[in-house]
Structure 1
Amino acid sequence: MFRSTPRTAAGALALLAATALLATACGGGSTGPVSAAVPPDSKDPVTITFMEAMSSGAQKDSLAKMTKDFMAANPTITVELQEQPDYGNLQTKINAQTAAGTPPTIAQVYSNWADELASSKVIVPLDAYVAQSADYKNFYSGIQNDLKLTDGSTWMWPFNKSVVVQYFNPTMVPQAPATWDEFAAAAKKATTGNVVGISIDPGSSSSPAGGTALLEIIAGSYGDQAFATDGSPQFTSAGVVKALDFLAQMKKDGSLSLGTNYPGQVALGGQTGAFDVSSVASYPFNLKAVGTKFTLGVAALPKGPSGAANQLAGTNIALFDKATDGQKAAAWKYLQFLTSAPEMAYWATTTGYLPVNKAALDDPAFTAYAAKNPWVVAATRQLDTATSLPPKSWVNKASGALALAIQDAVNNATPSRDALQKAQDSALKAQKEAQ
């Protein structure tokens, strides 16, 4: 499972309540169009709240330090971190407070959450803010695209972003595969005794996981996206069918197994797996799992017949319209601080997430980190081309249908096209119900 993806069990549970809560959100936010203008700075003391889910480890410590440093440089601004234990609780809390008319000043959000919040007129469009940003031009193309909703406007500011890489055991895989065909061959060769090439977790219908994202990525490398840009599922397209055939064949070869709870990481660390395909945010966790058993290999994802494909994961930050002008101005200053080159370099080197600001690659802290981890530079540059799932509320449920299709084709040997047709029908139903 990808650690920075919204596809967690807790995250999916919150989706069930989102629509009902947001239906009443307008009463707690703006009664008319939200204010898009950038308010002037205020010299008066102001307190802002940041609702976030960086609740453990380096993520918690790094965000706390960055926030402390920001307040030291801006003594009239107090930033209160409203930590939530996970993304599911985060979304539930945002929706509940928004419906009550007491939202935070800013909050971590996934794009599909932002789509609902924007429709309810409770968050602020940021196009005017972007026009004043000195750093926006240094954001990678994929990041800039990820900040927009389907109306073409920018509604979010970037935060913890990642792409997917391949982790491998060099004693089993001497050289990182460059293509998916080479990957399948290497996994098959490494499969022997109690070793299975790779284990993935597709998740469930309510909580699709990293294995489902892997299918979507491989489909892209075969030339077809699982979703159209408007969020419509296109699961029976040739590239998606070929991607599922690819996974099903690996299962037949004995080099792929399905599991739960980070099975690739567990197998890699236990030396019963040759590969783990997951987010760059998994790097510190995989290092811990491997320990001193071997030197962990990391490389960019293999390419398919249509070239490289990757999926952008992680959250952005939304600014809520209920905030006062002074709070909005302070929040904007804080957001710019978080994505400045030095702070992005620090964030990346301490958490494993990628710096969204290109200038961070020249920061001394990042160059020192990259010298020890050369793969991170190539991974960061993939932020120019990585794509995210469409920001529509039904996409998570539709991906859940894909998770079931993977299980059906891989474990039950159901023909890929049949499994995907069933998933397509379910996804179209979810889309229709959401619209």
Structure 2
Amino acid sequence: MTTLRRRTLAGLAAAALAIPRMARAETVEITVHYAQPHIYKDAKEAIAAAFARVEPGIRISWLTSPDYNDGLQLVLRQAAAGTGVDLSFQALNRLRVLTERGLAQDLAPLLAREGDPAALGYTPNILDLGRIGTTQAGLAFSASNSIAYLNGALLDRAGVSRDALPTSWDGVLDIAARLSRLPDAPDPLFFDWAITEWHWSALLLGQGGRWMNPQETRFLLDSPEGNAAMALFERIVRDGRMPNLTSAAAQQAFGAGKLGMRFASTANLRNMIRTTAQNFPLITMPMPVIDPQKGCLPVGGSAGVLMARDAAKREAAWKFLRFATGPEGTALMARNTGYVPVNQIAIDDPQYLGEFYRENPLYLAATRQLPITIEWYAFPGSNGVRISQAIVDNLARIVEGRAPAAQVVQDTQREVTRLLPRAS
């Protein structure tokens, strides 16, 4: 009996020890990268917590980068070193680089395995945000466009009616002049121009212009629309008395009530609400579009790119990507950021976001602009990041008063043309 009992206890102990080992063996850990944690952190953590309730066997290890350009370089370096991430949320205009380098896996077969994409909330327009040529390089996670944030208290002091907000840049600059005449006048406005060319392109596209010709053989900043957009930017800086700030400093100044208007991505909305809640009423309005027939706005945001090579990690990363871009994940993303939802079910089904938009009208400015948005353009070749930086560096010359608009157009045209692979 003693020997049998010892064997039984030993067997039970061995089994007890085996259970944790088995559980550990069945847990798959994936490395997921995303940029801009100051915007996305709350959303990503909320989505991960919800995902863990339905997929407890998948553990997520986060890797972050300050911005999209840094994120692309990080992923490229890791891929070259053989230590690549399993899933990366990249800027929509950087999917082209990852696809052309063979790093973005085609998601079309995985989507087909799930059934009809439209029935899952992935409409053709949503899928197009992540498509490069014939490759479904990513699934859109977030979408943004440019909106205006206004300090309601300062507008009241300047005698501006909240029911008659401007729809043109002339109207915006008129408000800027009125704000500048207030006692203890704040800085009237700030237009986000740095980091990438994305936000500034709202001025170019709003004129009906484009970055490149359809054949992608010529940069078009020296077009009539490009010249007009740069001249308008010069007016915004000069007539709007725009301070030379970083985006982060502008965020702080606006939250402190020292800046009357800020033109920036809707991605900043939740942070704006937090930082202004105790200081003044926040107002949002659509971005003025110059040409009502041809004008449009760029879509910003990110898409999840599947990069895992290990079969188990690949399957786990796909499950997380599907959840993050599905109805529940999209709703959590929208609630925790300010980005526009990119899953049609989340948009249409009241259980996800219907009540939210009714209770949070500040979020509506971005959704009202969706009909005039187009894709975030990705420059051809391997110099996309350098082209973005060249454009930003030249915009800085206007902000700093070092060069007039016409000269900046000429210099930017020349510099970018050198960086394009098929420029003429």
Query: So what's the TM-score if we normalise by structure 2?
Result: 0.79
Q: In structure 1, give the amino acid aligned to 2:301.
A: G
1:390 maps onto 2:378 in alignment: yes
In structure 2, the residue matched to 1:154 is 136
1:213 maps onto 2:204 in alignment: no
Q: Is the 8 A contact 1:126 1:154 kept in 2?
A: yes
Partner-residue secondary structure (3-state), 2:246: coil
Gaps of 5+ in 2: 1-24
In structure 1, the residue matched to 2:16 is none
Q: Deviations over 1:16-40 (max 9, x none)?
A: xxxxxxxxxxxxxxxxxxxxxxxxx
In structure 1, the residue matched to 2:12 is none
Distance in 1 (CA, whole Å) between partners of 2:166 and 2:33 is 37
Q: In structure 1, give the amino acid aligned to 2:344.
A: K
Partner-residue secondary structure (3-state), 2:305: strand
Distance in 2 (CA, whole Å) between partners of 1:142 and 1:395 is 24
Q: Per-residue deviation at 1:124?
A: 1.2
Partner-residue secondary structure (3-state), 1:278: strand
In structure 1, the residue matched to 2:232 is 246
In structure 2, the residue matched to 1:84 is 64
Q: Per-residue deviation at 1:289?
A: 3.0
Distance in 2 (CA, whole Å) between partners of 1:55 and 1:216 is 20
Residues 215 and 359 (structure 1), Cα distance of their counterparts in 2 relative to 1, 3 Å cut: same
Q: In structure 2, give the amino acid aligned to 1:226.
A: W
Residues 391 and 108 (structure 1), Cα distance of their counterparts in 2 relative to 1, 3 Å cut: farther
Q: Per-residue deviation at 1:335?
A: 1.8
Q: Per-residue deviation at 1:167?
A: 0.4
Match of 1:372 among 336, 359, 373: 359
Partner-residue secondary structure (3-state), 1:239: helix
Q: Is the 8 A contact 1:142 1:383 kept in 2?
A: no
Q: In structure 2, give the amino acid aligned to 1:320.
A: M
In structure 2, the residue matched to 1:33 is none
Residues 218 and 103 (structure 1), Cα distance of their counterparts in 2 relative to 1, 3 Å cut: same
Gaps of 5+ in 1: 1-43
In structure 2, the residue matched to 1:145 is 128
Query: Pairwise CA RMSD of aligned residues?
Result: 3.1
Distance in 1 (CA, whole Å) between partners of 2:233 and 2:273 is 26
Distance in 2 (CA, whole Å) between partners of 1:55 and 1:422 is 30
Q: Is the 8 A contact 1:251 1:410 kept in 2?
A: yes
Residues 332-343 of structure 1 aligned to structure 2 (within 5 Å): 332-343=318-329
Partner-residue secondary structure (3-state), 2:279: coil
In structure 1, the residue matched to 2:50 is 69
Q: Is the 8 A contact 1:139 1:357 kept in 2?
A: yes
In structure 2, the residue matched to 1:4 is none
Q: Is the 8 A contact 1:169 1:275 kept in 2?
A: yes
Q: Is the 8 A contact 2:27 2:58 kept in 1?
A: yes
Residues 155 and 136 (structure 1), Cα distance of their counterparts in 2 relative to 1, 3 Å cut: farther
Match of 1:60 among 37, 41, 45: 41
Q: Per-residue deviation at 1:198?
A: 0.9
Partner-residue secondary structure (3-state), 1:397: helix
Q: Percent identity?
A: 19
**Which protein has the larger Cα radius of gyration, Structure 1 or Structure 2?**
2
Q: Per-residue deviation at 1:222?
A: 0.8
Q: Per-residue deviation at 1:144?
A: 2.6
Q: Per-residue deviation at 1:48?
A: 4.7
Q: In structure 1, give the amino acid aligned to 2:208.
A: G
Q: In structure 2, give the amino acid aligned to 1:394.
A: N
Q: Per-residue deviation at 1:276?
A: 0.6
Q: Per-residue deviation at 1:428?
A: 0.9
Partner-residue secondary structure (3-state), 1:102: coil
Q: Is the 8 A contact 2:35 2:89 kept in 1?
A: no
Partner-residue secondary structure (3-state), 2:332: helix
The total of aligned residue pairs comes to 383
Higher mean Cα deviation, 231-240 or 134-143?
134-143
Higher mean Cα deviation, 110-119 or 180-189?
110-119
1:182 maps onto 2:171 in alignment: yes
In structure 2, the residue matched to 1:400 is 389
In structure 1, the residue matched to 2:209 is 224
Match of 2:189 among 198, 204, 222: 198
Q: Per-residue deviation at 1:220?
A: 0.8
Q: Deviations over 1:350-403 (max 9, x none)?
A: 232221112213333522321232242452354452321215442332233332
Distance in 2 (CA, whole Å) between partners of 1:317 and 1:144 is 12
Distance in 2 (CA, whole Å) between partners of 1:386 and 1:185 is 29
Q: Per-residue deviation at 1:141?
A: 5.8
Residues 380 and 183 (structure 1), Cα distance of their counterparts in 2 relative to 1, 3 Å cut: same
Partner-residue secondary structure (3-state), 1:199: strand
Query: So what's the TM-score if we normalise by structure 1?
Result: 0.77
Partner-residue secondary structure (3-state), 1:213: coil
Partner-residue secondary structure (3-state), 2:32: strand
In structure 2, the residue matched to 1:50 is 31
Residues 421 and 350 (structure 1), Cα distance of their counterparts in 2 relative to 1, 3 Å cut: same
Partner-residue secondary structure (3-state), 1:262: helix
Q: Per-residue deviation at 1:56?
A: 4.8
Q: Per-residue deviation at 1:282?
A: 0.9
1:428 maps onto 2:417 in alignment: yes
Q: Is the 8 A contact 1:231 1:390 kept in 2?
A: no
Higher mean Cα deviation, 49-58 or 328-337?
49-58
